[in-house]
């Protein structure tokens, strides 16, 4: 089939406070999830923020998975559990809903009145971990997959069982979690519910560093092993290749059946800073300014970054064609988030064919238009 592609390089009550264009939503602490072993790295209960839908959006749901990297070693996870990325004890009591989570047509024309949920990320495995044993000395819990299920079960009892439309989304490690959990999310609903997934800045490629070492592959191997993630990766993928390779979207997406939209940069800032040029390989800080601003790169550095972008785009060539899949791939040095109005929908938002990401995602979800392939130049100073 032909793929249509758009490419431009005990719970607390959830109270809502609005100030101007800001939408502050209170944290819901899911205390009863601890009985299921669905806990953060430190054993504290998971949490989420919910702004209820209204009018025609009462039966529609957007679930957003927060990002924030991974922890691949005991010491790394030990440090993480003393932050909001490993414990609900350190999470904000409120968060500001913007972009795809906002409640006005000005910022979010297609999804403004849906039930919108932000799930906090506190497991360090992109919501894939599940190990029963707990080290009595370190007291670390690897239960990301249980958190995902426990929160969805709780939302189910709050009205999600009546859903007519549903979107799973996320950014960065949450964008990867969106891809890895897309079919699992779909399985929560009956066949007549329209379910799609939108992954933002979560397409991490299996690329070597500037020194030729496979650092990101090693990192993902350690994450999968430490968190016991293999049981929560698509079995059709893990039976076809070494399980940690299924943590890479370029390998797993072809096994995903649910409609999926990818928003990413071919020159993703996180990947340039961590996959391509990790700080330990730049002791002289030769790359320090270049990784922040393209105009400060030497010709050689630009060539290296451009080669990374080329490799990134080749990863898409290897995906099986799918008519329900879409892409919005920029050539900006960014790791932008669709939960910011500037990136999602504003006068300064990226556009292609005069359409913002918000408009394109809306068109794709509601099947209003097809998509046309477009490749932007590098670096795209005009658009970035």
Residues marked active site are found at: 172, 268, 335
Residues facing 168 on adjacent strands: 63, 197
Instruction: Quote the tokens at residue 213.
Output: 């070492």
Are the C-beta atoms of 184 and 212 separated by less than 8 Å? no
CA atoms lying within 13 Å on the CB side of residue 224: 20
Q: What 8-state DSSP symbol labels residue 321?
A: P
State the greatest distance between any 2 C-alpha atoms of the chain, in Å, as a whole number.
58
Q: How far is CA 166 from the centre of its chain?
A: 16
Closest CA to 107 of 357, 332, 329, 326: 357
For the chain, the distance separating the N- and C-terminal CA atoms, rounded to the nearest angstrom, is 33
Are the C-beta atoms of 94 and 28 separated by less than 8 Å? no
What backbone phi and psi angles, to 5 degrees, belong to 153? -60, -40
Q: Count other C-beta atoms under 10 Å from residue 191's C-beta.
A: 6
Residues facing 169 on adjacent strands: 64, 198
Are the C-beta atoms of 67 and 172 separated by less than 8 Å? yes
Are the C-beta atoms of 258 and 181 separated by less than 8 Å? no
Q: What 8-state DSSP symbol labels residue 379?
A: S
């Amino acid at each position: 089939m032909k793929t249509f592609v758009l490419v431009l390089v005990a719970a607390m009550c959830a109270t809502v406070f609005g100030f101007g264009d800001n939408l502050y939503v209170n944290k819901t602490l899911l205390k009863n999830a601890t009985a299921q072993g669905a806990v953060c790295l430190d054993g504290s209960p998971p949490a989420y923020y919910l702004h209820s839908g209204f009018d025609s959006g009462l039966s529609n749901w957007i679930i957003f998975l927060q990002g924030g990297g991974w922890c691949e070693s005991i010491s790394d996870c030990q440090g993480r559990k003393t932050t909001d990325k490993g414990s609900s004890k350190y999470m904000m009591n409120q968060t500001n809903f913007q972009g795809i989570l906002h409640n006005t047509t000005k910022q979010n024309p297609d999804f403004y009145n849906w039930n919108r949920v932000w799930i906090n990320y506190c497991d360090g495995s992109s919501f894939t971990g599940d190990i029963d044993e707990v080290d009595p000395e370190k007291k670390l819990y690897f239960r990301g997959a249980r958190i995902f299920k426990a929160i969805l079960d709780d939302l189910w009892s709050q009205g999600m069982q009546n859903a007519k439309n549903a979107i799973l989304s996320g950014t960065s490690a949450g964008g990867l979690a969106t891809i890895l959990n897309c079919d699992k999310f779909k399985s929560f609903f009956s066949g007549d519910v329209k379910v799609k997934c939108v992954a933002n800045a979560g397409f991490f490629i299996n690329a070597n560093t500037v020194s030729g070492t496979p650092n990101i592959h090693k990192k993902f191997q350690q994450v999968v092993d430490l968190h016991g993630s293999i049981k929560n990766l698509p079995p059709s993928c893990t039976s076809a290749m070494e399980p940690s390779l299924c943590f890479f979207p370029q390998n797993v997406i072809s096994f995903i059946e649910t409609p999926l939209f990818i928003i990413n940069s071919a020159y993703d800032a996180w990947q340039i800073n961590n996959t391509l040029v990790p700080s330990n390989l730049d002791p002289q800080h030769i790359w320090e300014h270049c990784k922040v601003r393209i105009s400060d790169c030497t010709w050689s550095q630009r060539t290296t970054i451009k080669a990374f972008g080329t490799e990134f785009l080749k990863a898409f060539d290897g995906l099986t064609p799918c008519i329900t899949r879409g892409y919005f791939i920029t050539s900006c040095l960014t790791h932008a988030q669709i939960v910011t109005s500037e990136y999602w929908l504003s006068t300064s938002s990226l556009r292609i064919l005069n359409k913002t990401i918000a408009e394109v995602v809306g068109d794709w979800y509601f099947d209003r238009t097809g998509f046309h392939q477009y490749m932007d130049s590098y670096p795209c100073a005009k658009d970035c």
